[in-house]
Homo-oligomer: A and B are copies of this chain.
Amino acid sequence: MDFAYSPKVEDLRQRLAAFMETRVLPANRRWHALAEAGTYPLEVIEPLKDQAKAEGLWNLFLPGLKPGEPGTRLTNLEYAPLAEIMGRLPWASEVFNCSAPDTGNMEILHLFGTPEQRELWLDPLMNGDIRSVVSITEPDVASSDPTNLQTEIRRDGDHYVINGRKWFNTGALHPLAKVLIVLGVSNFAPDAARHERHSFVLVPMDAPGFEVVRNVPIMNHHSPEGHCEVVFRNVRVPVANLLGEENKGFAIAQARLGPGRIHHCMRTIGQCELALELMAARALERKVFGKAIADYANNQDAIAECRLEIDQARLLCLRTAWAMDTFGNQSARVDVSAIKIIAARMQTRVLDRAMQVFGAMGLSNDTPLAYLWTWGRALRFIDGPDEVHLRVVARDEIAKAKARTGTLDPYFTPPDAHP
């Protein structure tokens, strides 16, 4: 459980930070100008991708690479400080082929894909030639309980026929998006076990019957790549498009969620560091009633609270990454739930404090704060609402308590000890 950065990671950190400073940040305004004009800023991103790949800053996230596959083969623990740096700009991860949902999708294709699926989808994803979508959440049911999902994947001869409606399908409007990984009911037997009823299938974006209905805004923010509502109307894919085993979709979803969730947490920590930097800078330069905002004890407290929260969250994030590396994603799932709750809640709190120091400007788009604040709020749902993850943590604690029954009596001092 050594959280010091190894020389290898330290080297990557410095190169990544330099790349961000000299290449990515200078393009930030151009990226925003294009995005606001309705053009996905490929012209900004594609050249940066080439440069990042050339400098070995590519696919930093993928632990189990095989010889010949492009990427740096880092553990989750090693990846954490790098994801933090990339997280400082919401669009930067794509430059390094490290953006959601591709990272999670690549992980499950890596783990469960057939050779054909890997060749068709994983290789171009790993090369950054295409992007992908994960299609799980549905508008009509509480998807935090995935047994609620209703999209149907019915076997029909050599094909699956898919019918259903999904939303918050991130990236479905990205010009390079080519494939969706779709979770739906595939076992309609009334007595089927609750967690053995769903499958994942791969659906090309150009499959007939598939339609992007709209780009659902998140707190009024229409992301350029989209968090889309989509429909599948009798979409047919060959049975070869099944990912993993039939009716084992839940196990795959679980495998996918660990890394996906912690990547968000790592980026969140970077975003909170940035917010604290911006907040402290603003507090120094802004004056009210005759002195700098930084000289007021309530603002000092707000700054300190951010530091307390960030440092604790980072350490728990690193420990969780270490546990995933050491014991596997499934064994670390309680820790993943814990850091997932903490990071999302921290983001709204830290950003809230930072915005308050900025005054009305903090409400505008002139700073990154307003977007990050609303994104933090969204994170409290993305990959599962707080309530579901608190439940995971609590049930683990209660199970431990059951195993400990009867050992705590000596800590009580009942009446006979009170003379």
Contact = CB atoms under 8 A, between A and B. Distances in A.
Number of copies of this kind of chain in the complex: 4
Contacts of A161: none
Interface string A296-318: 11111101111110011101100
Interface centre among A26, A216, A307, A363 (most CB of B within 10 A): A363
A116 interface: no
A385 B359 contact: yes
* Chain A contact surface mostly: helix
B280 A397 contact: yes
A386 B356 contact: yes
B294 A297 contact: no
A342 B308 contact: yes
A385 to B, nearest CB: 7
Contacts of A402: 284
Interface of A: 1-4, 25-26, 28-29, 32-33, 36-37, 88-89, 137, 139, 141-145, 148, 167-168, 213-214, 216-221, 229, 274, 276-278, 280-281, 283-284, 286-289, 293-294, 296-301, 303-308, 311-313, 315-316, 319, 338, 341-342, 352, 355-356, 359-368, 370-371, 373-374, 377-378, 380-382, 385-387, 390-391, 393-398, 400-402, 404-405, 408, 410-419
A405 B294 CA distance: 14
B413 A365 contact: yes
A396 to B, nearest CB: 8
B364 A284 contact: no
A397 B306 CA distance: 10
Nearest to A358: B381
A304 B401 contact: no
Given A33-B417, A366-B413, A410-B25, A283 B398 contact: yes
Going nearest first, the 6 A-B pairs with the smallest beta carbon separation are: A280-B401, A300-B394, A315-B315, A312-B312, A2-B2, A304-B393
A304 B413 CA distance: 27
A78 to B, nearest CB: 14
A25 B412 CA distance: 10
Contacts of A148: 287-288
Contacts of A284: 398, 401-402, 405
- Which interface residue of A356, A387, A410 has the most chain B CB atoms within 10 A? A387
A28 B408 contact: no
Contacts of A363: 216, 218-219, 377-378, 381
